[in-house]
Amino acid sequence: MAELLRTQARKPKCYLLRPVTFLLIMLVLVFFGAGFLSPRSPVLWSRRAGAGEAGRESVGLQVVKLSRMVYPQPKVLTPSRKDVLVLTPWLAPIIWEATFNTDILNEQFRLQNATIGITVFAIKKYVVFLKLFLETAEQHFMVGHRVNYYVFTDRPADVPHVPLGEGRQMVVLEVPASARWQDVSMSRMEMISSFCEQRFLREVDFLVCADVDMKFRDHVGVEILSQLFGTLHPGYYRASREAFPYERRPQSQAHIPRDQGDFYYMGAFFGGSVSEVYRLTKACHQAIVADRANGIEAVWHDESHLNRYLLDHKPTKVLSPEYMWDEKLLGWPAIMRKLRYVAVPKNHREIRNR
Amino acid sequence: MRRHRLAIGLGVCLLVGTVLCTLWVYVEDWLPVSYVPYYLPCPEILLLFRGTVAHHTLRSTHSPLPAGQLHCIWASAGRTGYYEKQRPHHLADSRDGSNMKLQYKGEKLFQPVAQSRYPQPKLLEQRPTELLTLTPWLAPIVSEGTFNAELLQHIYQPLNLTIGLTVFAVGKYTHFVQHFLESAERFFMHGYRVCYYVFTDDPTAIPQVPLGPGRRLGIIPIQRHSRWEEISTRRMEIISQHIAKRAHQEVDYLFCVDVDMVFRNPWGPETLGDLVAAIHPGYYAVPRQQFPYERRHVSTAFVADGEGDFYYGGAVFGGRVANVYEFTRGCHMAILADKANGIMAAWQEESHLNRRFISHKPSKVLSPEYLWDDRKRQPPSLKLIRFSTLDKDTSWLRS
């Protein structure tokens, strides 16, 4: 009797286990089946051009979510500046004081954790300008953002040690120096393009190429950043295109006819996304080499080639002469509400070719 | 005996579960409320490993999905013929909560501009410019006189772009399609490849309009709802689903406009940008406190008193297809959240659009020339009206 009970008692357990397992397996199968049978959506994968470049490329083009901010309302019927042009005919902003709100722009770029690289060439005696350049850059250039200074020099021992803020670092790159100052200037294009490939593509999102014999006097921030930007030459912002000192000889690659040209851009301050700067510097370098092979040197060297390139590849932002000024030569006209990046007085004869 | 009952109970539960699953997958709109599926557990949770395996077999350029990184995207039961139940996929940017990555048409590089003769831009403007041409975040505000159309044509033509245009023609609104398409054929993106996407509940009512070369029309059937507000708010959802399903492979840029309008003057590549909004014609001269934002705190479209740049019109927005996708998805999520709280924003999707444009600023803004109301007197500051309303009797249309 007890045996019978025991077997009977055991039986329900064994009897229950199998159906329950079966049911659980059915459950799992049904869910899998639902997944298989549900109408298929197209396979959608992110497009990636190339590992490093694609990751960097997206900065600046992303639409990021901003936090709540308080600022005055922009008024549709009230232009920000009535005395100057703020938009080129190809819809690129021309950056003047009062056209932009620093807070909004800072937040947009901070949210993307943008890193800005700035290249500066301190060849031969030009190393003396580095200290003032770096100190003023620490005060005014891209404050609050990640910055990499790339100092190209043939005298790495003479590079001053300047204390840098948080998120900012300096990289000293040793490069050979050409004998002639014109060649020093033009070789910058080659060096920047080769380092773009080697380092900049992986390390920074935006690249700014600046002259070293300058100092920052006022805010120069993320308002300048875009795919490709050039700066208006302070000596020619009033001039008509026939008076621009473009290269006028048709034999040169930098040739621009008298009836063409938008602005005269200065070779001392240009930049953009790393890939665009790479294309620009590579194209300019190739044009310089072609000219050299034809026994011609453009009238303003790399600046002439830069102007030719920017005529064909319109910049997406143009910086007003506030971003490139010489107070000694040009004074301080009312139209310049701020002087941001200005020339440091130097003795040309002494400093060049030494 | 109790154990028997337990077994039977389990079996019944299993059966009910299967029935619900099948109903949900194959039958649309059987639920009285459409957002419930969002709260149900995702069957795909079980597909984690299968998805990882599937990853390898597909043509993909990036590393397999690490286990544990799984998201499911839910769509309410909208009648577009499929659901956005995505397979597990690589997440690169889930900042927004939007986690579907789409494979888009190829990226266009900067091309050299063919030389064209045009006057030199005058840097020191003395003419009184009436309109603001640059927003505080450096987005251009496009109006007649700010750009050189020929120059822009030289820049954009070689890029071989395809531009999409979505319109919704539901119920009696199908009457507008003829006039809309004819005017678009004359003025919208002339010389470019264009895809019109007409969403309608009655495909037979869409007339055959002759289209120029490189331009085609796609008619997509959608479900009609009883209330016109419902139709209006569904647009965000339908557009985002359509992009995911089709448009991301077919177009580079996409514009979403209202159908009860006509193009009156050229609408060209000056409007192309990463994310484009248009200023509402009724509020461009008005202080932000008077903008008809949603002012109730409970709504996700709430805008506080001191917030806001411009009041943008819901009738025109667009941009790169990737950005339009993120934008419409974001709006749709916000609309659903409101629905769950039983609230509908003051101006339906336009309120949500405005909320989103405050936190995700457009990269280009179109002046009211690109979205005009013909009942208003045209002010001298707006030189060329390009897209405006067709006078209509709204009460008849919405019945």
Beta B261-263 vs A146-153: how paired, if at all? unpaired
CA distance A12 to chain B (A): 8
Looking up tokens 């060329």 gives B384
The mean pLDDT of A13-41, rounded to a whole number, is 67
- Structure token pair of residue A23: 């049911």
Q: What is the pLDDT of residue B5?
A: 85
> How wide is the angle at C-alpha B360 spanned by C-alphas B358 and B366, nearest 5°?
75
Q: What is the pLDDT of residue A20?
A: 74
- Structure token pair of residue A324: 């490139």
DSSP designation for A90: T
Active site residue B44: no
Task: Give the residue with greater pLDDT, B3 vs A132.
Answer: A132
The H helix count followed by the E strand count for chain A is 10, 10
The end-to-end CA distance of chain B, in Å, is 61
Percent pLDDT > 70 in chain A is: 86
Q: Are the Cβ atoms of B83 and A39 closer than 8 angstroms? A: yes
Examine the pLDDT at B289 and tell me if it is beyond 70: yes
Nearest Cα neighbor of B110 from A149, A197, A180, A283 is A283
Examine the pLDDT at B49 and tell me if it is beyond 60: no
What's the pLDDT tens digit per position in A267-301? 999 999 999 999 999 999 999 999 999 999 999 99
Mean pLDDT of chain B: 79
Task: Give the residue with greater pLDDT, B118 vs B197.
Answer: B197
Interface contacts (A, B; CB < 8 Å): 241
Interface with B, mutate which of A45, A108, A112, A273 (most B CBs under 10 A):
A45
CA distance A191 to chain B (A): 22
* Burial class of residue B256 (count of CB atoms within 10 Å of its CB; 0-12, 13-18, 19+): buried
Poorest-confidence range of A35-44, A233-242, A336-345, B301-310? A35-44
Examine the pLDDT at B78 and tell me if it is beyond 70: no
What's the pLDDT tens digit per position in B315-359? 999 999 999 999 999 999 999 999 999 988 888 889 999 999 999
Please say whether the beta carbons of B229 and B344 come within 8 A: yes
Within 8 A by CB and 6+ apart from B70, the residues are B44, B45, B48, B51, B88
Listed in order, strand segments (DSSP E) in chain A are 94-95, 115-122, 146-153, 168-174, 206-210, 214-216, 228-232, 265-273, 317-319, 341-343
Other C-beta atoms lying within 10 Å of the C-beta of residue A287:
21
3-state secondary structure of A220: strand
- Structure token pair of residue A269: 């301050």
Q: Are the Cβ atoms of B152 and A90 closer than 8 angstroms? A: yes
Mean pLDDT of chain A: 86
Q: Are the Cβ atoms of B123 and A86 closer than 8 angstroms? A: no
| Residue in A16, A38, A47 closest to B25 by CB | A38
The mean pLDDT of A158-180, rounded to a whole number, is 93
Please say whether the beta carbons of B387 and B257 come within 8 A: yes
Please say whether the beta carbons of B150 and A111 come within 8 A: no
3-state secondary structure of B301: coil
Q: What is the pLDDT of residue A272?
A: 96
Percent pLDDT > 70 in chain B is: 73
Does ipTM come in above 0.85?
Answer: no
Contacts of A83 in chain B (CB under 8 A): 124-126
Task: Give the residue with greater pLDDT, A173 vs B94.
Answer: A173
Band (pLDDT 50/70/90 cuts) for residue B36 is very low
Examine the pLDDT at A210 and tell me if it is beyond 70: yes
What is the residue-wise DSSP string for A97-133?
A: TTS--HHHHHHHHHHTT-EEEEEEEE-GGGGGGHHHH
A170, B46, B84, B89 from A36: Cα distances, Å? 55, 12, 14, 16
Tell me the torsion sign for CA atoms B274, B275, B281, B285. negative
Q: Report the C-alpha gap between A283 and A263 in whole angstroms.
A: 19
What is the residue-wise DSSP string for A187-210?
A: HHHHHHHHHIIIIIHHH-SEEEEE
Contacts of B270 in chain A (CB under 8 A): 91
